[in-house]
């Protein structure tokens, strides 16, 4: 690990001003950041400890929306009674991630900003456009079983690793950020970027900007939601495929559907084509299968991960059946 200066800040303004300098990074739970620093993948000159900023509250707004502080721990969010009752998809996604110890440290802001688990990204002996722009991509012709099948480019096929983000994509979350120029909000699906020709640019956050909150809009009454994760072992493992499903069904017909996929996309993958199929349709297995086919219609497999196309379809159908049942 390279030497760095640690700055402890007490308020947002101090954090933002300290962050405006290049090669400066925030640290929250440290569960991703410290690994990256130990491996010399992140080499900040300054690290800003934001743990004293007080962004650790979960507020229920009058509108029914939930405002979650960026420093709320993954465990605290997962076990919050309102999240369990009204947004089970988010609680289930969080509890499917990592291990209890990690979830006790990991923050909401850090989870949003965590970096890919592509093995070549973590191994500095290999070419990786995300780590060293222009160096090549060892995964495209290498071992790519865990890599992405949606949103890939000829420069990078890395999967976005988060479970929480998949649920937030389906829930239409809104990210609140604060920078030197003031505050702004970013719709969840606009926050993470596709790799395109610049896979090292992963999100729309500016150097001086701090994530302060994530807002979850209230769901229409009667909505049901669920997160299903498929992985190589039952815990402490990233998703091969996952599906976040939010459905509102009335008299057997789907009034609204919000779907997202994990383990398959280069960013948390909102399945808009599948939503189009389902909205207005009868809640039955045939329609769920048609929706899953639409969701994966643009998927592109690589040598070791083509199986994910069928697995993702089945994951989505199973999650839809569990959430919506069948008329």
When asked if residue 69 is in the footprint of ligand FAD (CB under 6 A), the reply is: no
On whether the CB atoms of residues 150 and 299 are closer than 8 A, the answer is: yes
Sheet (strand 5-8) strand order: 5-8, 46-49, 24-27
Q: Which residue among 24, 86, 91, 111 contacts ligand FAD (CB under 6 A)?
A: 111
Structure tokens at 326: 């069948």
The reply on whether position 130 binds ligand SF4 by CB under 6 A is yes
118 binds, among ligand FAD, ligand SF4, none (CB under 5 to 8 A by kind): ligand SF4
Q: Is 317 in the site for ligand FAD (CB under 6 A)?
A: no
CA torsion sign, 165 to 169 to 173 to 174?
positive
Residue from 37, 78, 106, 137 that binds ligand SF4 (CB under 6 A)? 137
Query: Which conformational region is residue 206 in: left (phi greater than 0), alpha (psi within -120 to 50 degrees), or beta?
Result: beta
For residue 25, list its beta bridge partners.
Answer: 47
Q: Rounded to whole angstroms, how far apart are CA atoms 166 and 164? A: 5
DSSP letter for 115, please. P
Q: Quick check: 238 binds ligand SF4 (CB under 6 A)?
A: no
Binding flag, residue 118, ligand SF4 (CB under 6 A):
yes
CB of 173 to ligand SF4, least distance (A): 25
160 binds, among ligand SF4, ligand FAD, none (CB under 5 to 8 A by kind): none
Beta-bridge partners for 176? 185, 213
How many Cβ atoms from other residues are within 10 Å of residue 286's Cβ? 10
Q: CB atoms < 10 A from the CB of 203, how many?
A: 16
Residue nearest ligand FAD, Cβ-based: 110
Strands, DSSP E only, in 117-181? 174-179
Cβ closest to ligand FAD, residue 140 vs residue 166? 166
- Per CB under 6 A, 33 contacts ligand FAD: yes
Q: Which stretch binds ligand SF4 (CB under 6 A): 3-11, 133-141, 220-228, 312-320?
A: 133-141
Nearer to ligand SF4, 80 or 302 (CB): 302
Query: Which residue is associated with the tokens 């410290």?
Result: 34
Residue pair 280/254 in contact by the 8 Å Cβ criterion: yes
String of contacts with ligand FAD for each residue 195-214, x by CB under 6 A: ---------------xx---
Which does residue 111 touch among ligand SF4, ligand FAD, none (CB within 5 to 8 A, set by kind)?
A: ligand FAD
Q: Which is nearer to ligand FAD, 29 or 195 (CB)?
A: 29
Nearest 5°: the CA angle 221, 222, 223 is 95
Q: Is 24 in the site for ligand FAD (CB under 6 A)?
A: no
Which residues sit at the interface with ligand SF4, rule CB under 6 A?
A: 116, 118, 120-121, 128-130, 137-139, 147, 156-158, 199
């Amino acid at each position: 690990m390279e030497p760095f200066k640690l700055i402890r800040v007490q308020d947002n303004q101090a954090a933002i001003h300290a962050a405006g300098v290049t090669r400066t990074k925030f640290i929250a739970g440290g569960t991703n950041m410290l690994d990256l620093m130990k491996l010399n993948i992140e080499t900040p000159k300054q690290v800003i400890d934001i743990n004293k900023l007080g962004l650790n509250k979960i507020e229920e707004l009058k509108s029914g929306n939930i405002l979650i502080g960026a420093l709320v721990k993954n465990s605290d969010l997962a076990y919050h009674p309102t999240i369990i009752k009204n947004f089970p998809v988010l609680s289930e996604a969080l509890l499917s991630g990592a291990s209890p110890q990690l979830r006790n440290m990991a923050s909401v802001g850090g989870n949003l900003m965590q970096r890919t688990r592509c093995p070549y990204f973590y191994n500095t002996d290999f070419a990786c456009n995300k780590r060293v722009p222009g160096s090549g991509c060892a995964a495209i012709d290498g071992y790519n079983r865990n890599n992405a099948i949606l949103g890939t480019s000829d420069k990078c096929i890395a999967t976005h690793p988060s479970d929480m983000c998949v649920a937030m994509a389906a829930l239409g979350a809104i990210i609140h950020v604060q920078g030197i120029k003031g505050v702004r909000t970013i719709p969840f699906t606009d926050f993470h970027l596709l790799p395109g020709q610049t896979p090292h640019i992963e999100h729309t956050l500016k150097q001086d900007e701090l994530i302060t909150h994530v807002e979850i809009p209230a769901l229409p009454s009667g909505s049901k939601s669920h997160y299903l994760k498929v992985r190589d072992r039952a815990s402490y493992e990233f998703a091969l495929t996952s599906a976040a499903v939010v459905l509102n069904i009335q008299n057997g017909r789907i009034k609204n559907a919000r779907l997202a996929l994990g383990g398959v996309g280069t960013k948390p993958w909102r399945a808009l084509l599948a939503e189009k199929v389902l909205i207005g349709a009868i809640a039955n297995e045939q329609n769920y299968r048609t929706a899953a086919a639409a969701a994966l219609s643009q998927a592109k497999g690589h040598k070791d991960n083509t199986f994910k196309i069928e697995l993702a379809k089945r994951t989505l159908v199973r999650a839809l059946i569990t959430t919506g049942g069948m008329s």
